[in-house]
Amino acid sequence: MPLRLPDKLPAIDILKKENIFVMDETRAHSQQIRPLRIVILNLMPMKVTTETDLIRLLSNTPLQMEIYFMKLKSHTSKNTPVEHMMMFYRDSEELMKQKFDGMIVT
């Protein structure tokens, strides 16, 4: 089933080349399916690689999932561009106000 990912996430292009069906947020909003909401706290140094690996594993399910990436204010990534973090990761304080079906911590 499709994974709902943030628009322009670098992993999308890689996964599409591997024939893994992903759905950007724009298309996903037109669907009438309630996806599982998963938040990922990615503390690995190579964030883009880890994102791609995790999404690849999560795509092997019949369920539709909506993925969110969390960052901690107390942690500054040394190996990932600030622009990537600002574009795709949300502060933990913001996400903790929402309800999720699951959380993955790496």
Residue keyed to tokens 């594993």: 57
What is the number of domains present in the chain? Answer: 1
Read off the pLDDT band of 31 (50, 70, 90).
low
Residue 16: its pLDDT value, please? 84
Rg over alpha carbons for the chain, rounded to the nearest Å, is: 13
How does residue 26 score in pLDDT terms, banded at 50, 70 and 90?
A: low
Q: Which domain holds residue 28?
A: 3-105
| Total-model pTM | 0.78
Count of CB atoms within 10 A of residue 1's CB?
Answer: 16
